[in-house]
Structure 1
Amino acid sequence: MPDRNEAALQFLLTRRSRPAKTLTDPAPDRAALQPILTAAARSPDHGKLEPWRFIVLERGALARLADLVETRGAERNEAPAQIAKAKSAYQDSPLAVVVVSAPVQSDKIPKIEQVYSAGAVCLALLNAALASGWGANWLTGWPVYDRTFLRDGLGLGDDETVAGVIHIGTQTNPPPERPRPDLDAITTWVDA
């Protein structure tokens, strides 16, 4: 039998994201965020290309982005409720880490594998924040698909996208439980 890490397995079997709207100050400072980012950077990365990077958004940057969401939402004719929801995700967040998918040219590693690696970084970052005792939630929303918001707000290049925005802070309420997938319905066993 392999050696089991029972604590890690129990964490993964019971982990729950904390709704971003329930997160408040304090948020991790740079020293507390360092091991969380380090854990996320250990995600599978076929070819060791590091096709992702982090942008840490502190309060001032989040306020600036909330204003940009409002401006861009009006320019895009987004529904007022959608603008308000997206604005509040930035305005009310104590801290957020943007995981930027930044595929690199490679003859060996397809772009799709590099994009999947960025998704793995998001989950590792979320789990590392939760395991560190913080509340955390992985969000996106219409602003991260708007090229003007990405360019003007986050400084992303034309070949970069956002894999996820991980909001991190102190949880104010216990996380709600939700239904989980029926493993029998989503699993196929193949023996031959």
Structure 2
Amino acid sequence: MDASELLLTRQSTPRLTLPAPSEEQLDFILNAGARAPDHGALTPWEFIIATESGLDTLADIFVKAAESTGADEVYLTKVKGMPHRAPMVITVVTKSQQHPKVPLLEQQLAAGCATMAMQQAAFSLGLGAVWRTGDFAFSAIVNEGLGIGLDDQIVGFLYVGTPAVKAPLKALKPGRQFARFLK
């Protein structure tokens, strides 16, 4: 797959199954994430990888966070299954740093770029991925369960695996419809 095809056909792949990325594929995915734009070379990100029993651990953390909000049993059952929607979940975290030239927002955007780079890397390997956020990305209980500092922020959960079905290619939205020129 060439770069043009990758950029113009990338889409989320929400239905994922085994196998998870191999060790070699995972290295490629993580290396792509580490190449994200990074003003000041701060590397303001951390990638927390859950597979196999790690998915159970992530599920338990999600359930604990949902219980703290008074969720009912139906929702708790759904939450317990969330990490198992893929054979691998990479939690991408902004590791916030005080810097005179690199504001926090720019660091969060860099971690977001790392997430997209990892998604595209997975796609280039014939794998699928979907970037999810939701309430758990903003939960102090999830942060604590994952060992994330108080000043750090989850930017997303990247679910990665083998596409369960070949999804039809979504229509391209011409970029010009979102553009305007200053005069």
TM-score, normalised by the number of residues in structure 2? 0.90
CA displacement 1:126-178 (0-9 Å, x = unmatched): 000110111111111222211012112x1101011111111111111112444
Cα displacement (A) at 1:112? 1.1
2:37 corresponds to 1:44: yes
CA contact (8 A) 1:135 1:168 kept: yes
- Distance in 1 separating the partners of 2:39 and 2:120: 21
CA contact (8 A) 1:66 1:90 kept: yes
CA contact (8 A) 2:37 2:113 kept: yes
The residue type equivalent to 1:87 in the other structure is K
Identity, % of aligned positions: 33
- Distance in 2 separating the partners of 1:189 and 1:81: 50
Cα displacement (A) at 1:72? 2.5
2:156 is aligned to 164
Cα displacement (A) at 1:57? 0.9
Aligned CA distance change for structure 1 residues 7 and 91 (closer, same or farther; 3 Å):
closer
1:58 to 39, 51, 54: 51
Give aligned pairs, total.
183
1:130 is aligned to 123
CA displacement 1:50-96 (0-9 Å, x = unmatched): 11111111111111221232232122123555544443221332011
1:28-107 equivalence runs, <5 A:
28-78=21-71, 82-107=75-100
What RMSD, in angstroms, separates the aligned Cα atoms of the two structures?
A: 2.0
- Distance in 1 separating the partners of 2:170 and 2:72: 28
2:170 corresponds to 1:187: no
Aligned CA distance change for structure 1 residues 81 and 184 (closer, same or farther; 3 Å):
farther
CA contact (8 A) 2:8 2:172 kept: no
- Distance in 2 separating the partners of 1:112 and 1:133: 32
Structure 2: gaps of 5 or more residues: none
Cα displacement (A) at 1:187? 1.1
Aligned CA distance change for structure 1 residues 157 and 12 (closer, same or farther; 3 Å):
same
Aligned CA distance change for structure 1 residues 180 and 88 (closer, same or farther; 3 Å):
farther
CA contact (8 A) 2:55 2:83 kept: yes
1:6-21 equivalence runs, <5 A:
7-19=2-14
SS in 1 for 2:137: helix
- Distance in 1 separating the partners of 2:173 and 2:27: 33
CA contact (8 A) 1:99 1:118 kept: yes
Structure 1: gaps of 5 or more residues: 1-5
- Distance in 1 separating the partners of 2:37 and 2:111: 9
